[in-house]
């Protein structure tokens, strides 16, 4: 008999009527011969209300007690859901996280799932019950209640679908599926019929709140096809799968992370240990760092900028200031009024000229980019918060996301028997080592590229567009791009190109330097790009730190960095490529799958 998981979010169980309507969906699947597990969130804004209540009592409530409090939201809704099913004449049993046996680590309010017991659920299903599982919660080894982080019921649902080898995992919510961007922010957003795991991982972590990003990590690791659909209709929705892309558009979606802050560190020694010490400090403070950009310096010192969530800016500054001072550098001014606008798409990995299109469109809309970072399937730009919405609308339109014909015809997705066998194998193995533990797929060296850096570039709208228009029109394929923030007037722009296009790139850069009166130009004709790829690299903040640690011990300096959900890339001097590869392989030996 086939098994389906149906997850209902807060708005889909906000009142009695909605609970009954969700119950009917589960009953219908049951009548169609499926075994059904429902995963349910707290009703409506209940979790927000609980958070608010805690804040009225204490400025810093203990995390353990927050979990105790927040888990009650889901306990209410599972019980009501079981009563609803019962009232429809079917058998149901509700279970809390601990009753299911969802074992997590002890990091309260952001716990990770280690193991899920299946016996109780399976025996209840075999007795003809619809099983109703509380989302978002688990239990640690000392029987303390834990929660998985806001939005975590998605993760419970996909994790259950994974261990139970469910045929389907349906996420019922208040939109019809995954859109090209948040339809509440841009009404012109369109539904996407199928999304690849990697795209969804990036979109979710860059602000597309429709799915908890860790749920997509589970989907990818265990090959669970996830269907996101409306709880108010029977429309097909969107499918998140491991799909080979055949997209015409280079970009599949756009996202906005509105509340970011930019932190700048100045004049620290440009030696291998610096970046390691800084990021060790940040990892220990559990700050989520993004858009890390290091200027390639001429004078032996480096400036480093990165973004953090705005509400972590002050804490980050305080944690870093003493370390930076001890290193002989100083803290630059923090800018708390910035937002990150990103575009994501598998298509861009194989097409040229995507980045300059984005930069040109933003320049035409008079939006100035303070920082830029790219990875294989995403480009992010940091902009002033008051320009963020127009920046999002501009890039969304530039890539045709508001008009592109969206294929919403329903189709069924049949995983091949082979992938099911593989998934069973992975589930087995990871149940033993920790379901959400870090998985590294590969560590590779690319020593076929060169780097060009323009320093002291006047920071005005259109400058990045001019640079990369020129580069693209010369047929040069750009891989990594970073633009740092130096001060209000100047930026540094670095990019990597194939080594055989180095001479041509240098010619272009020299002309640009003269024309735009940039301070300087530096380059390396051979660089080594070292890539660690895996799943959930950003949520495992320690990965970048481990890389810096290993490189530091091997005395290798890092020139450029970029991070994404599935990859961390660092650029080092070409002659150190092999040594870098060796030390990273040793460092991550135990996390390789
Ligand atoms: P639930 O309570 O069902 O978990 P959420 O509020 O967590 O629902 O997620 C649904 C919301 O996600 C939508 O109402 C929408 O505003 C928002 N959202 C953000 N980005 C996207 C996107 N790219 N596609 C669809 N919805 C999005
Ligand atoms: N109720 C929890 C929250 O609001 C979990 C969830 O809805 O996914 O964050
Ligand atoms: Mg949600």
- The answer on pLDDT for 418 being more than 60 is no
Alpha-carbon distance of 36 to 133, in angstroms, equals 11
Alpha-carbon distance of 163 to 166, in angstroms, equals 8
- The answer on pLDDT for 210 being more than 60 is yes
Q: Which two tokens stand for residue 374?
A: 């790219």
CA 498 to ligand 3 centroid distance, Å = 42
- Between 207 and 388, residue with greater pLDDT: 388
Nearest Cα residue to atom 9 of ligand 2: 150
Q: Report the length, in residues, of the chain.
A: 593
For the stretch 497-531, pLDDT in tens is: 999 999 999 999 999 999 989 998 999 999 999 99
- For residues 6, 12, 13, 16, the Cα torsion angle rounded to the nearest 10 degrees is -120
Closest atom, ligand 2, to C-alpha of 156: 8
pTM, two decimal places? 0.93
Q: What is the mean pLDDT of residues 70-99?
A: 98
For the stretch 25-68, pLDDT in tens is: 999 999 999 999 999 999 999 999 999 999 999 999 999 999 99
Closest atom, ligand 1, to C-alpha of 184: 16
Q: 111 near 140, Cβ under 8 Å?
A: yes
Alpha helix ranges (H) inside 89-165:
97-100, 119-126, 153-163
Nearest Cα residue to atom 7 of ligand 1: 210
Q: Cα 192 from chain centroid? A: 18
Residues of the chain with CATH 3.40.1160.10: 3-246
Q: 181 near 344, Cβ under 8 Å?
A: no
Domain 255-400+440-591: give its CATH superfamily: VC0802-like (3.30.2130.10)
For the stretch 339-349, pLDDT in tens is: 999 999 998 88
Highest mean pLDDT (candidates 149-153, 206-210, 559-563):
149-153
- The answer on pLDDT for 23 being more than 60 is yes
For the chain, what percent of residues have pLDDT higher than 90? 73
For the stretch 43-54, pLDDT in tens is: 999 999 999 999
Residues of the chain with CATH 3.30.2130.10: 255-400+440-591
DSSP per-residue string spanning 505-534: HHHHHHHHHHHTT-SEEEEEEEEEEEEEEE
For the stretch 360-387, pLDDT in tens is: 999 999 999 999 999 889 999 999 999 9
Q: Which two tokens stand for residue 99?
A: 């009753």
CA 365 to ligand 1 centroid distance, Å = 27
Nearest Cα residue to atom 11 of ligand 1: 210
Q: 519 near 456, Cβ under 8 Å?
A: yes
Provide the CB-side half-sphere exposure for 246 (13 A, CA).
1
Helix (H) or strand (E) holding 40: strand 35-40
The structure tokens 């961007």 sit at: 181
Coil, helix or strand at residue 354: helix
The phi-psi region of residue 169 (left if phi > 0; otherwise alpha if psi is between -120 and 50; otherwise beta) is beta
Domain at 3-246, CATH from 3.40.1160.10, 3.40.109.10, 3.40.50.170, 3.40.50.300: 3.40.1160.10
Confidence of residue 293 (pLDDT cuts 50, 70, 90): confident
Alpha-carbon distance of 250 to 330, in angstroms, equals 41
Does the C-beta of 153 come closer than 6 Å to ligand 2? yes
Ion ligand 3: protein residues whose beta carbon lies under 5 Å? 9, 151
Helix (H) or strand (E) holding 493: strand 490-498
For position 408, what pLDDT does the model report? 46
Ligand index nearest the alpha carbon of residue 175: 1
Closest atom, ligand 1, to C-alpha of 11: 2
Does the C-beta of 71 come closer than 6 Å to ligand 2? no
């Amino acid at each position: 008999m086939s098994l389906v998981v149906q997850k209902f979010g807060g708005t889909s169980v906000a009142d009695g009527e909605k609970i009954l309507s969700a119950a009917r969906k589960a009953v219908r699947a049951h009548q169609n011969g499926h075994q059904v597990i429902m995963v349910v969130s707290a009703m409506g804004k209940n979790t927000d209300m609980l958070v608010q209540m805690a804040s009225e009592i204490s400025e810093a409530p203990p995390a353990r007690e927050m979990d105790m409090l927040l888990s009650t939201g889901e306990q209410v809704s599972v019980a009501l859901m079981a009563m609803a099913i019962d009232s429809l004449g079917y058998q149901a049993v509700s279970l809390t996280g601990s009753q299911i046996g969802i074992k997590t680590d002890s990091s309260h309010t952001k716990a990770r799932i280690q193991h899920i017991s299946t016996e109780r659920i399976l025996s209840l299903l075999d007795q003809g019950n619809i099983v109703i599982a509380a989302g978002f919660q688990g239990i640690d080894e000392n029987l303390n209640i834990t929660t998985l982080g806001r939005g975590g019921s998605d993760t419970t649902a996909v994790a259950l679908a994974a261990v139970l080898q469910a045929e389907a995992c349906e996420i019922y919510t208040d939109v019809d599926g995954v859109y090209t961007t948040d339809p509440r922010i841009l009404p012109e957003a369109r539904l996407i019929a199928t999304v690849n795991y990697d795209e969804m991982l990036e979109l979710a972590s860059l602000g597309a709140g429709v799915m908890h990003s860790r749920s997509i990590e589970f989907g990818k690791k265990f090959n669970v096809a996830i269907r996101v659909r409306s709880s108010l209709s029977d429309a097909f929705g969107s499918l998140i799968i491991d799909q080979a892309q055949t997209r015409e558009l280079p970009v599949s979606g756009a996202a906005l992370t509105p509340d970011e802050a930019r932190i700048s560190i100045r004049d620290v020694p440009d030696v291998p240990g610096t970046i390691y010490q800084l990021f060790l400090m940040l990892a220990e403070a559990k700050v989520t760092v993004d858009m890390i950009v290091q200027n390639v310096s001429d004078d032996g010192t480096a400036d480093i900028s990165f973004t953090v969530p705005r509400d972590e800016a002050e804490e980050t500054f305080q944690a870093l200031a003493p370390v930076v001072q001890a290193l002989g550098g100083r803290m630059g001014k923090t800018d708390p009024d910035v937002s990150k606008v990103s575009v994501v798409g598998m298509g861009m990995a194989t097409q040229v000229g995507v980045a300059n299109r984005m930069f040109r469109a933003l320049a035409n809309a008079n939006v100035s980019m303070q920082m830029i970072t790219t990875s294989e399937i995403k480009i992010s730009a940091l902009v002033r918060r008051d320009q963020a919405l127009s920046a999002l609308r501009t890039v969304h339109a530039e890539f045709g996301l508001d008009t592109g014909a969206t294929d919403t015809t329903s189709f069924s997705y049949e995983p091949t028997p082979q992938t099911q066998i593989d998934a069973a194998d992975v589930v087995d193995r990871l149940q033993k080592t920790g379901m959400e533990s870090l998985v590294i797929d590969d560590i590779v060296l690319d020593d076929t590229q060169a780097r060009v850096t323009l320093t002291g570039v006047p920071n005005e709208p259109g400058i990045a567009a001019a640079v990369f228009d020129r580069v693209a029109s010369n047929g040069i394929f750009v891989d990594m791009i970073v633009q740092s923030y130096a001060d209000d007037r100047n930026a540094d722009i670095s990019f990597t190109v194939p080594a055989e296009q180095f001479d041509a790139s240098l010619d272009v850069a020299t002309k640009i330097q003269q024309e735009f009166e940039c301070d300087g130009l530096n380059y390396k004709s051979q660089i080594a790009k070292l890539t660690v790829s895996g799943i959930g690299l950003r949520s495992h903040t320690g990965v970048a730190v481990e890389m810096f640690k290993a490189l530091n011990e091997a005395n290798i300096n890092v020139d450029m960095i970029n991070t994404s959900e599935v990859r961390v890339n660092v650029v080092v001097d070409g002659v150190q490529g092999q040594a870098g590869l060796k030390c990273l392989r040793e460092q991550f030996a135990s996390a390789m799958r």
